[in-house]
Amino acid sequence: MAKYIMLAFSNPVPGREDEYNAWYDEFHVPEMLSSPGLVAAQRYRVAPIEPPNYPGYQPMPYRYLNLMEMETDDLAKTKEILWSPANVGRIKRSDAFDSSKVVCKIYEPFRPRVTRK
């Protein structure tokens, strides 16, 4: 079975970070994991440091990252199911989630994983 990762970058509505995180942890992640093809999730937040400033550097506009692991032999079909009205409609929404500025992408590995020797 082929493996992918889906990255979703997002932010809470200003002043509602606790509500956003509670919704993500209690509802969104568990509901997403009941979708076909999604097998694991882990949430991240931006660490309190910035890399060195170099020409052209742009600070990350998103504070939170939700990384979901996917396993499927038919990525197009899985995508169709994930974003179907039936699947999207069953997932609880939160107005603490700033849905106007979300970036979501699915990535596939195309080079071998490299580890330190």
* pLDDT at residue number 58: 84
* pLDDT at residue number 69: 98
Structural domain containing residue 13? 1-47+75-117
* pLDDT at residue number 41: 98
**60 falls within a domain:** no
Given a cut of 90, whether residue 62 has pLDDT beyond it is yes
**86 falls within a domain:** yes
Given a cut of 90, whether residue 49 has pLDDT beyond it is no
Given a cut of 90, whether residue 18 has pLDDT beyond it is yes
**55 falls within a domain:** no
The average pLDDT across 82-99 equals 93
**54 falls within a domain:** no
HEC string of the chain?
A: CEEEEEEEEECECCCCHHHHHHHHHHHHHHHHHCCCCEEEEEEEECCCCCCCCCCCCCCCCCCEEEEEEEEECCHHHHHHHHCCHHHHHHCCCCCCECCCCCEEEEECCCCCCCCCC
**62 falls within a domain:** no
pTM listed for this prediction: 0.89
The average pLDDT across 40-69 equals 91
Average of per-residue pLDDT values in the chain = 94
* pLDDT at residue number 53: 80
**99 falls within a domain:** yes
CATH of the domain at 7: 3.30.70
**53 falls within a domain:** no
Q: Count of domains in the chain?
A: 1
Given a cut of 90, whether residue 116 has pLDDT beyond it is yes
**32 falls within a domain:** yes
